[in-house]
A = this chain, B = another copy of it.
Amino acid sequence: MIPSSKPIIEVSHLSHRFSDGSQGIYDISLKIEKGEFVVVAGHNGSGKTTLFRHLNGLLTPNTGDVKVDGVSVSADVLRARQLVGLVFQDADSQIVGETVYDDVAFGPENLCLTPAEVNRRVTSALSAVGLEQLADQRPHRLSGGEKRRLAIAGILAMEPQVLVLDEPFANLDYSGMIQVLSQIVQLHQAGKTIILSTHDLDKTMGHASRLILMKNGSIIKDGLFEKVIHDVGCVGVKMPCTCQLETIYGENGE
């Protein structure tokens, strides 16, 4: 991936304190290029969700600034929301429509597109996540993995450049997890920028290019996935076992 001159996301000295006085995140600076696959890890309450919510303007910074594709989020929230699609941790609570089709159409309809364009986008988003067959289903009948893919489709239909996923593997069983992961990897190969948070680095091992470790609201490590992974112990994240294997193989091999 050749980094383009202008980073798609640029966060500078971002801090956020909640109204009840608790510090969400503190002095975060970060550049993400087009086409990267970034994983953010950290303990419960380390500020991952808070950071993500600044990327599309759901939260506004106390100090600092977030730029998406060169334009500050606060200057044009709608543009940021179209460019950066945010998939929440809890797939159930994101469902808006009465059928799978209606749900995916919700975003494009809000963008005031023509019905034909809405239809095109919905169809292509549904086929991107493999839910074409279920278009007329009621969303709450879907399984866990299907619901998560529906949530992704709802965001994809807005045709964002950047896909931000907050713990996309939570509550899924193994096969559901595989479904969602392979979806994400495909989207990355199709050129989308991917940012996701997870407690279980095993799952993204081998796909992600970059790893960011957060602790108490700050970034404490940021770099190549294969490098940073050896430091995860200090933020209370579990070392992936594929990586433990490597270490052992290394020992045995030499």
Binding site for B on A (CB under 8 A): 43-45, 143-145, 170-176, 199, 202, 236-238, 241-242, 244-245, 248, 252
Contact = CB atoms under 8 A, between A and B. Distances in A.
27 contacts: A43-B173, A43-B174, A43-B175, A44-B144, A44-B145, A44-B172, A44-B173, A44-B175, A44-B176, A171-B171, A172-B199, A173-B199, A173-B236, A173-B237, A174-B199, A174-B238, A175-B236, A202-B241, A241-B241, A241-B242, A241-B244, A241-B245, A244-B245, A245-B245, A245-B248, A248-B248, A252-B252
B244 A44 contact: no
A21 to B, nearest CB: 13
Closest 8 A-B residue pairs measured CB to CB? A241-B241, A44-B173, A174-B238, A175-B236, A173-B199, A44-B143, A43-B173, A44-B144
Contacts of A173: 43-44, 199, 236-237
Contacts of A199: 172-174
A215 B245 CA distance: 30
A246 to B, nearest CB: 11
A244 B248 CA distance: 12
Given A44-B173, A174-B237, 8 more contacts: A44-B145, A44-B172, A45-B143, A170-B170, A172-B199, A241-B241, A241-B244, A252-B252
